[in-house]
Amino acid sequence: DAKTTQPTSMDCAEGRAANLPCNHSTISGNEYVYWYRQIHSQGPQYIIHGLKNNETNEMASLIITEDRKSSTLILPHATLRDTAVYYCIVRVVGNQFYFGTGTSLTVIP
Amino acid sequence: ETGVTQSPTHLIKTRGQQVTLRCSSQSGHNTVSWYQQALGQGPQFIFQYYREEENGRGNFPPRFSGLQFPNYSSELNVNALELDDSALYLCASSYNRAYEQYFGPGTRLTVT
């Protein structure tokens, strides 16, 4: 059911930008891309979402390719508290989220 | 604004027993979704309730059932517990079906 592919793990130096890629090559025209993160078995935390255009909020930026087959989540200045599992999700009709296995991001001091 | 709350935090049950997990949605939210997260895996969608009606179901057997109340709180019931039901159960609420979901802290269920 998962319609996304992400790297299993990534490292990022503290203070640098963390760029997390996601492949969603089978995405349909009306399906949104959502990003969540989960810290240490807490409930997942909403980060950002988008349909076609690039989006930015206080937490991150989301870059979606023109063909919508992939996207990148950017954390502009990673901190140790950004260490978490990051999930890229394609939202199917009816707002039913299908999570993959996510990317485990480790921010290194 | 109160966030999503779940109860209990942890519980231990024996194989074959039944369990009820509870979720209070965030204020103003009318949609509740339930997820099962096994250790080391991403959350798996169980089902969703919108205005007290089931609005979609994942690949889970009928012994997983749910309910949503007029105040939009929700229950997840699991009958005939199996060892593989041991997991973190997450509840998420949203305002209507088209908005971002906000997750609760989860209930850790252990089946022995």
Whether A90 has a pLDDT exceeding 90, the answer reads: no
> What is the rounded CA–CA span in Å between residue B105 and residue B41?
16
Quick check: helix, strand or coil at residue B83?
Answer: helix
Quick check: helix, strand or coil at residue B101?
Answer: coil
Whether A94 has a pLDDT exceeding 90, the answer reads: no
- Does the beta-carbon distance from A94 to B90 stay under 8 Å? no
Q: What is the DSSP letter of A4?
A: -
Question: Tell me, what's the pLDDT at B95?
Answer: 87
- For residue A88, the chain B residue with the least C-alpha distance is B42
In this prediction, residue B11 has a pLDDT band, given cuts at 50, 70 and 90, of very high
Q: Which of B45, B48, B90 sits opposite A43 (nearest CB)?
A: B90
Question: Tell me, what's the pLDDT at A28?
Answer: 84
> What is the rounded CA–CA span in Å between residue A34 and residue B58?
19
Question: Tell me, what's the pLDDT at B49?
Answer: 94
Mean pLDDT of B80-86: 98
Residues in A 65-94 with any Cβ partner in B closer than 8 A: 85, 87, 94
Mean pLDDT, chain A, rounded, equals 91
Dihedrals phi, psi of A29, to nearest 5 degrees: -60, -25
> What is the rounded CA–CA span in Å between residue B24 and residue A46?
18
**Would you state the structure tokens that stand for residue B91, as one six-digit string?**
């509840």
In this prediction, residue A57 has a pLDDT band, given cuts at 50, 70 and 90, of very high
Mean pLDDT, chain B, rounded, equals 93
- Does the beta-carbon distance from B44 to A42 stay under 8 Å? no
DSSP secondary structure, A15-31, as one string: TSPEEEEEE-TT--TT-
Q: Would an 8 Å CB–CB cutoff place B3 in contact with chain A?
A: no
Question: Tell me, what's the pLDDT at B12?
Answer: 98
